[in-house]
């Protein structure tokens, strides 16, 4: 598989399928692992880093889970491709910015991806579309067991799996769900919700993960601490919170549809019209408008837009995607113009 093959398909997590996919866009499980007897990445010399690259490559490509996986040495690919992988949520911003001795593996349908020499030697990720945390965890368990047969993971009886950052120690697990909460935002309940979630030891972040604002009413909710907790408990407590969030969003949507129909129809109709009419648009504005159009589809107010195509747009309007689609470098202004062409094309009344 090559990077350029990825753009032909939509990542599995963007397909808009799976349970509760009108609110839960995707479910993600991440595990951090390190190779025993080798320094953590930040303390490693080049030789050790290269050793990690070599050892993990053999082990991962030998795994049944990663047959025919895309394998990328980050310093061998152009900047636009690194950004492209980031836009697809396959790698982190850090992994894209400083590519030396870093590699990436992407499995079938982009459900599994693995970063080598990011903060830890290995960062394993499983993303599924919709509210499927158990299934994602099930895949992750299998993958991790499989790799553990081929790699010696750093483990202490006292601390569990060892990780570069103590907050990840123990299971090294981060579970998260990306949720779309337009009605909670419009009815101004979102600050209260974020506050309540934080009190439960969970974190709420924006569309692009750590350190990013919530864009277009999309939020990533994830567990904070893993030390001393069983994986299943971490996932269960996240699931309970997500179920409450789903219920709250549904109530808010029903309220908007029943009691604020004119206002919500107005907003949705304007959003759609603006997407169709704009000649220049930033990613940020576009995502905000997509959010309203998606709400319109979910409320049954918009019928002739294909949800799958709309979902694709979230990723395809990003800078690197636009440039790969065009096959050349584009300035910011050129992207802001090209973006509107792509949007008009995808949202064409079907």
The pattern of x and - marking residues 288 through 327 that bind a second copy according to CB under 8 A reads: ----------------------------------------
Window of 163-171, 179-187, 238-246, 267-275 that interacts with a second copy by CB under 8 A:
267-275
Nearer to a second copy, 251 or 282 (CB): 282
- When asked if residue 284 is in the footprint of a second copy (CB under 8 A), the reply is no
Nearer to a second copy, 134 or 265 (CB): 265
The pattern of x and - marking residues 321 through 340 that bind a second copy according to CB under 8 A reads: ------------x---x---
117-150 b/e with 16+ CB inside 10 Å = b?
Answer: bbbbbbbbbbbbbbbbbebbbebbeebbebbeee
Which of residues 58, 195, 240, 270 is near a second copy by CB under 8 A?
A: 270
Contact assessment for residue 218 and residue 180, using Cβ atoms and an 8 Å cutoff = yes
What is the total count of residues that contact a second copy (CB under 8 A)? 17
| Region label for 86, one of left (φ > 0), alpha (ψ between -120 and 50) or beta (otherwise) | alpha
Q: Is 252 exposed, middle or buried (0-12, 13-18, 19+ CB in 10 A)?
A: buried
Q: If residue 56 lies in a helix (H) or strand (E), which one and from where to where? A: helix 46-62
Nearer to a second copy, 239 or 260 (CB): 260
Window of 93-101, 199-207, 259-267, 321-329 that interacts with a second copy by CB under 8 A:
259-267
Window of 23-31, 37-45, 49-57, 263-271 that interacts with a second copy by CB under 8 A:
263-271
Which of residues 278, 295, 313, 342 is near a second copy by CB under 8 A?
A: 278
Contact assessment for residue 87 and residue 212, using Cβ atoms and an 8 Å cutoff = no
Nearer to a second copy, 99 or 182 (CB): 182
Shortest Cβ 280–a second copy spacing (Å): 4
What gap in Å lies between CA 111 and CA 32, rounded to an integer?
17
Which of residues 61, 62, 247, 280 is near a second copy by CB under 8 A?
A: 280
Which of residues 244, 269, 282, 307 is near a second copy by CB under 8 A?
A: 269
What gap in Å lies between CA 344 and CA 92, rounded to an integer?
30
Which of residues 187, 203, 274, 307 is near a second copy by CB under 8 A?
A: 274
- When asked if residue 237 is in the footprint of a second copy (CB under 8 A), the reply is no
Shortest Cβ 239–a second copy spacing (Å): 38
Shortest Cβ 207–a second copy spacing (Å): 24
Long-range pairs, 236-245, Cβ under 8 A, ≥24: 237/200, 237/202, 238/133, 238/175, 238/176, 238/177, 238/202, 239/133, 239/134, 241/197, 241/200, 241/202, 242/24, 242/131, 242/133, 242/177, 242/179, 245/23, 245/179, 245/181, 245/184, 245/193, 245/197, 245/221
- When asked if residue 88 is in the footprint of a second copy (CB under 8 A), the reply is no
Nearer to a second copy, 157 or 262 (CB): 262
Nearer to a second copy, 195 or 270 (CB): 270
What gap in Å lies between CA 75 and CA 41, rounded to an integer?
16
Contact assessment for residue 248 and residue 184, using Cβ atoms and an 8 Å cutoff = yes
Which of residues 272, 321, 324, 339 is near a second copy by CB under 8 A?
A: 272
Maximum separation of any 2 CA atoms in the chain, in Å: 65
43: which DSSP letter?
A: G
Nearer to a second copy, 149 or 332 (CB): 332
What gap in Å lies between CA 173 and CA 156, rounded to an integer?
16
Which of residues 9, 54, 210, 276 is near a second copy by CB under 8 A?
A: 276
The residues, ordered by sequence, that sit 6+ positions from 139 with a Cβ below 8 Å of its Cβ are 29, 65, 111, 112, 126, 128
Site residues for a second copy per CB under 8 A: 262-263, 265-266, 269-270, 272-274, 276-281, 333, 337
């Amino acid at each position: 598989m090559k990077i350029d093959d990825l753009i032909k398909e939509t990542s599995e997590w963007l397909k808009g399928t799976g349970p509760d996919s009108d609110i839960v866009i995707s479910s993600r499980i991440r595990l951090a692992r390190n190779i025993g007897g080798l320094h953590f990445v930040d303390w490693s010399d080049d030789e050790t880093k290269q050793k990690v690259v070599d050892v993990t490559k053999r082990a991962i490509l030998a795994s049944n889970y990663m047959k025919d996986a895309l394998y990328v040495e980050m310093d061998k690919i152009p900047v636009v491709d690194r950004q492209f992988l980031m836009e697809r949520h396959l790698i982190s911003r850090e992994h894209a910015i400083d590519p030396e001795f870093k590699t990436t593996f992407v499995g079938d349908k982009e459900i599994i991806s693995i970063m080598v020499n990011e903060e830890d030697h290995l960062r394993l990720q499983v993303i599924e579309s919709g509210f499927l945390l158990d299934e994602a965890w099930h895949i992750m368990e299998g993958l991790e067991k499989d790799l553990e047969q081929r790699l010696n993971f750093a483990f202490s009886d006292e601390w569990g799996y060892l990780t570069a950052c103590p907050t990840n120690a123990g299971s090294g697990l981060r579970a998260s769900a990306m949720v779309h909460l337009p009605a909670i935002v419009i009815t101004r309940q979102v600050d209260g919700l974020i506050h309540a979630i934080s009190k439960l030891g969970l974190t709420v972040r924006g569309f692009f993960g750590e350190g990013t604002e919530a864009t277009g009413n999309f939020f990533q909710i994830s567990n904070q601490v893993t030390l001393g907790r069983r994986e299943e408990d971490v996932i269960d407590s996240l699931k309970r919170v997500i179920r409450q969030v789903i219920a709250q969003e549904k109530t808010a949507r029903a309220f908007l549809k029943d009691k604020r129909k004119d206002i919500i129809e107005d907003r949705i109709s304007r959003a759609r019209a603006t997407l169709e009419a704009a000649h220049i648009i930033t990613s940020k504005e576009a995502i905000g408008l997509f959010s309203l159009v998606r709400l319109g589809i979910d409320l049954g107010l918009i019928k002739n837009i294909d949800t799958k195509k709309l979902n694709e747009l979230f990723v395809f309007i990003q800078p690197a995607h636009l440039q790969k689609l065009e096959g050349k470098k584009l300035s910011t202004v050129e992207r802001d113009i090209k973006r509107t062409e792509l949007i008009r094309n995808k949202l064409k009344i079907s």
